[in-house]
Amino acid sequence: MKNQGIAPHESFELHELLTFKNVCLTKSTTMSTLVTDERLKSLLQQDVTTTQGHIKELRNLMEQSSMAGSIK
């Protein structure tokens, strides 16, 4: 079976996940500048790095959708 791309409802789900991940990234980035505990700061920085990777993957998937023009 040939890959037909991503269906519109899947695009909406991806957009929802992308929005959530952006909120998570903003929160972790902000909190990492406010905390004083080094272990917590390290965990938050790891979360920032991981979440940036997730956002990149989600954006790549969104580019395959029929709604790709709306994510730029």
* Per-residue pLDDT tens over the stretch 4-25: 678 888 889 999 999 999 999 9
In a domain? residue 30: yes
pLDDT of residue 13: 92
Are the C-beta atoms of residues 18 and 57 closer than 8 Å to each other? no
Mean pLDDT value across the chain: 87
More confident residue, 36 or 5: 36
In a domain? residue 49: yes
In a domain? residue 3: no
Distance from C-alpha of 39 to C-alpha of 16, rounded to nearest angstrom? 31
Burial category of 8 from C-beta neighbours within 10 Å (exposed 0-12, middle 13-18, buried 19 and up) = exposed
Helix (H) or strand (E) holding 60: helix 38-63
Number of domains in the chain: 1
Range of the domain at 51: 9-66
In a domain? residue 28: yes
In a domain? residue 2: no
pLDDT band at 1 (very low <50, low <70, confident <90, very high): very low
In a domain? residue 41: yes
Residue 38 in this model has a pLDDT that exceeds 70: yes
